[in-house]
């Protein structure tokens, strides 16, 4: 049975208590931490940058994923690698030289990921499938936490899993946006194995550890 993994997004965390929040998510069984970097250009919101990645690196030994929701991500790969990111995820929509960018991430010794927005077809990844360590299917339009899961993205997960099973079985499918106890199972059954969750974890009434545990419990029923 494929194992589901939770990647809490600190976007929804209490930044006054970021270290505690990360520790709680880790205690609950988080597999990795996702850092949602937003520039206010690619997405209509500004979040945080290198200093928060560096701080998160100091707060946990879990792998860190830098999800770059920014234009010209190729300009910042070394910065995020040096700040502590283990995986760097760029958006296909702002990467006309995606093959070169993915190679550049690997040359930095990091895992290479690409994200596609709800309106971007899986086919846009067809020429770089073998280069990917992770493919992120956005299940909301990026820019904000707390949005509703878009069920119309499920077919993309199934389609991508089929292609990966043939051409790059080791590549993980990650989903991000509106993942909670009501939506995670459908994404898992469609073929995703890594689940980014911000609100469902850091907005959980009993705290982040319970938020992670609740999601894992549903996955491993
Ligand atoms: C893009 C961000 C959010 C965040 C998760 O908008 O990437 O999707 O990580 O947000 P929640 O889990 O709160 O929907």
The per-residue pLDDT for range 189-216, each reduced to its tens digit, is 999 999 999 999 999 999 999 999 999 9
* Domain membership flag for residue 51: yes
Please name which of 188, 183, 87, 199 lies closest in space to residue 144, comparing C-alpha atoms.
199
| Helix/strand/coil for 116 | strand
Once rounded to an integer, what is the mean pLDDT over residues 167-173?
98
To test the pocket of ligand 1, the residue of 7, 8, 9, 212 to mutate (highest count of ligand atoms within 8 Å of its CB) is 9
Compute φ and ψ for 134, nearest 5 degrees: -155, 140
Catalytic residue check, 36: yes
Assign 117 to helix, strand or coil: coil
CATH code, domain with 89: 3.20.20.70
Does a structural domain hold residue 67? yes
- Write the residue with the smallest CA distance to atom 1 of ligand 1: 142
pLDDT surpassing 90 at residue 1: no
Residue 43 maps to a domain: yes
CA distances from 154 to 38, 161, 207 (A): 25, 11, 28
The pLDDT of 126-130, averaged and rounded, is: 98
Put the strands of the sheet holding 134-138 in their side by side order: 5-8, 194-197, 172-176, 134-138, 111-116, 87-91, 64-69, 33-38
Ligand 1 and 215: CB distance under 6 A: no
Domain span at 69? 14-22+30-178
Which residue out of 7, 8, 11 has the highest number of ligand 1 atoms within 8 Å of its CB and is therefore the one to mutate? 11
Residue nearest to atom 10 of ligand 1 (CA): 145
CA gap 217, 137 in Å, rounded: 22
Share of the chain above pLDDT 70, in %: 100
Which one is catalytic: 31, 36, 39, 180?
36
Decide if 195 is inside a domain. Answer: no
User: Can you tell me the distance from the alpha carbon of 66 to that of 72, in angstroms, rounded to the nearest whole number?
Assistant: 14
Tens digits of residue pLDDT in 94-126: 999 999 999 999 999 999 999 999 999 999 999
The whole-angstrom separation of Cα 34 and Cα 172 is 15
Q: 89 CB less than 6 Å from ligand 1? A: no
| Position 221 pLDDT exceeds 90 | no
Q: Catalytic residue at 86?
A: no
The number of folded domains in the chain is 1
In a domain, 68, yes or no: yes
pTM above 0.95, yes or no: yes
- At residue 3, the pLDDT reads 87
Confirm or reject: Cβ of 7 under 6 Å from ligand 1. no
């Amino acid at each position: 049975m494929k194992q589901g993994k939770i990647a809490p997004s600190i976007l929804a965390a209490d930044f006054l208590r970021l270290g505690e929040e990360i520790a709680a998510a880790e205690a609950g069984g988080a597999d990795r931490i996702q850092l949602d970097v937003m520039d206010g250009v690619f997405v209509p919101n500004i979040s945080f940058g290198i200093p928060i990645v560096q701080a998160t690196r100091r707060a946990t030994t879990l792998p860190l994923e830098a999800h770059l929701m920014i234009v010209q991500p190729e300009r910042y790969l070394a910065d995020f690698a040096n700040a502590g990111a283990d995986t760097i995820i760029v958006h296909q929509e702002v990467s006309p030289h995606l093959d070169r960018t993915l190679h550049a991430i690997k040359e930095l010794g990091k895992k290479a990921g690409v994200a596609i927005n709800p309106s971007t077809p899986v086919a846009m990844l067809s020429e770089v499938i073998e280069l990917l360590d992770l493919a992120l299917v956005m299940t909301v339009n990026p820019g904000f936490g707390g949005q509703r899961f878009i069920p119309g993205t499920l077919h993309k997960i199934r389609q991508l899993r089929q292609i990966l099973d043939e051409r790059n079985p080791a590549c993980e499918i990650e989903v991000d946006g509106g993942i909670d106890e009501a939506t995670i199972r459908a994404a898992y059954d469609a073929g995703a194995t890594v689940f980014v969750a911000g609100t469902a974890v850091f907005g959980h009434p009993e705290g982040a550890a319970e938020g992670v545990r609740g999601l894992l419990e549903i996955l491993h029923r």
